[in-house]
Amino acid sequence: MIEMKNLERSYKTGPTETWVLRRIHLTIREGEFVTVMGPSGAGKSSLLNVMALLDDQWKGEFYFNGDAVHTMNRKQRAQLARQRVGMVFQSYHLLDELTVAENIDLPLSYKDIPKSERQGLVADALDRFNIVGKKDLYPNQLSGGQQQIVGIARAVIHKPALLLADEPTGNLHSAQAKEIMEMFRNLNEEGTTIVQVTHSELNAEYGSRTIELRDGWLSKDTAAVAVQGGQV
C-alpha cells in the first residue's frame, strides 16, 4: 500500500538545516498494523504527516497504492488524502462548537456526498462505535476516552484504506487506552491498514509490526524486510 524510497525531510531555520527524516525506505502492505516508535524528536510524527499527505516538502519517492505521490501536485495529494486516509490525533482535535454527530460528519461534508447519504453514514458510525446516545452532545461534555472514540469514528467514517493515529491514547488512562486499542484491532481485522505512533510498548503489542526511528533514521523494523540504508 505504501512504498517509500530514499525519502528525506528537513527544516531550514536560518542557515541551519535540521534533518528529521533520513533516507527512509519503507514498504507497508495492505492490512498491516504498524507501530512507529522512537524517542521524542526521532521523526515519528513527521513520518506520519508524510503518510497523511499533509506534508509535501519531502524529497524522494512515495507510492500510495502504486500511485506516485511525488509526482502529484498539492490538489491531487489533497484529493488522495480525502479519499484514502483517516487520522486520529493524540488531543482528539474535535471541534468544540460542533456536536458529536456533526464532528463525525465533518470529513464527509468535504466530499460530494448528498446530505441524506451522509446522515445514514453518520448514523451507522454512531451505532458501530456505540455512541448513539451522545450524538447531540458537545465534545466538552464527553470524557477523554469518549472524545477519542468520536475522533476514531470521524477518522473512519469515509472508510479510508489507511488509518493513521498519532499517540491516540497519549491523553487517556489505561482502561480508556485499552478500549481504544481494541477498537483499532477490530478495525484492522476488518481490513483497515493502520499506522500508529506511540511510546507505549503495551499499545505496540496490538500491532503486527513495529518500526523504530532514531534521529530521523529508520533504525529497526520487526518485519522480515531488511532495513536498507539505515544505520544503528
- Which is nearer to other proteins, 59 or 111 (by Cβ)? 111
- Write down the residue that cell numbers 488512562 correspond to: 173
For the bound state, the minimum distance from the C-beta of residue 123 to other proteins, rounded and expressed in Å, comes to: 19
Q: How far is CA 49 from CA 9, 123, 132, 139, 158, in A?
A: 11, 29, 31, 25, 19
Task: Considering only the C-alpha atoms of the chain, give the largest distance between any 2 of them, rounded to a whole number of Å.
Answer: 55
One-letter amino acid of 195: V
Q: Which of the stretches 87-95, 126-134, 181-189, 206-214 binds other proteins when contact is defined by CB under 8 A?
A: 87-95
Q: Interface residues for other proteins in 88-117 (CB under 8 A)?
A: 89, 91, 93, 95-97, 106-107, 110-111
Q: Interface residues for other proteins in 145-174 (CB under 8 A)?
A: 154, 158
Q: Which of the stretches 26-34, 84-92, 181-189, 221-229 binds other proteins when contact is defined by CB under 8 A?
A: 84-92
One-letter amino acid of 27: T
Phi, psi of 78 (to 5 degrees): -60, -40
Phi, psi of 125 (to 5 degrees): -65, -45
Q: Check binding of 78 to other proteins (CB under 8 A).
A: yes
Cα R_g (the chain), whole angstroms: 18
The count of other CB atoms within 10 Å of the CB of residue 59 is: 13
- Which is nearer to other proteins, 95 or 132 (by Cβ)? 95
Q: Interface residues for other proteins in 48-77 (CB under 8 A)?
A: 49, 52, 54-55, 75
* Residues binding other proteins (CB under 8 A): 49, 52, 54-55, 75, 78, 81-82, 87, 89, 91, 93, 95-97, 106-107, 110-111, 140, 154, 158
